[in-house]
Amino acid sequence: MNALGLALRSILWTFLLPGFFAGYVPLRFFGLARLPVSFQNPVHLLGLVVVGVGAALLFTCIWEFARSGRGTLSPVDPPRELVVRGLYRYVRNPMYLSVTLVVFGEVLLSASRGLLVYWVIWFVAVNLFVMGYEEPTLRRRFGESYERYTRDVRRWLPRSK
């Protein structure tokens, strides 16, 4: 597989998926594009930190999908190998959690009740997608190795050791 092609596909899917849900929708429909950010407001600072941490974790996950899994974050162009390295050692869905952090940071920045509702709907929809499509698909595709992974690594919260 061509590394440049994989990089370009990863960039494309990053814009189309998390870019849409955590970028376009909040900017377009919840007024985030017109929001004055105050660096003197501690809630705004916290929101910026949460967005930054979420974005950094997201890009780490995308990189790991390309590096270890030889695929992208898209369900139509998934990794060829089961990715259990990096953040995936701690939770099975760090990419969704990363996007969730970005949107929650935007909620903190905007103090928008509408965006808070969107954030809740986003997380419920992601749960339904993960349990109804992604996990059954991964079970069929990777078999016992995925079963073992689900026994060792929780869906959303890391295990306390």
Locate 159 and state its tokens: 């295990």
Are the CB atoms for 65 and 71 separated by under 8 Å?
yes
In a domain, 158, yes or no: no
Its domain, for residue 63, covers 3-152
Task: Please tell me the predicted confidence (pLDDT) of residue 4.
Answer: 87
Cβ contact 3:71 at 8 Å: no
- pLDDT attached to residue 1: 53
In a domain, 20, yes or no: yes
Q: Dig out the tokens for 21 from the structure.
A: 């849900």
Distance of alpha carbon 29 from alpha carbon 18, whole angstroms: 16
Residue 117 included in any domain: yes
Residue 161 domain flag: no
Domain assignment present for 131: yes
The one-letter code for the residue type at 22 is: A
In-domain check, residue 159: no
pTM of the model: 0.92
Determine the Cα–Cα distance for residues 49 and 149; give it in Å rounded to an integer.
31
- Looking at the structure of the chain, the number of domains it has is 1
5 contact partners, CB below 8 Å, separation of at least 6: none
Position 112 scores a pLDDT of 94
* pLDDT by residue, tens only, the chain of 161 residues: 588 888 899 999 999 999 999 999 999 999 898 888 889 999 999 999 999 999 999 999 999 988 888 888 888 888 899 999 999 999 999 999 999 999 999 999 999 999 999 999 999 999 999 999 999 999 999 999 999 999 999 999 998 86
Asked if residue 116 is part of any domain, the answer here is yes
Q: Is residue 157 part of a domain?
A: no
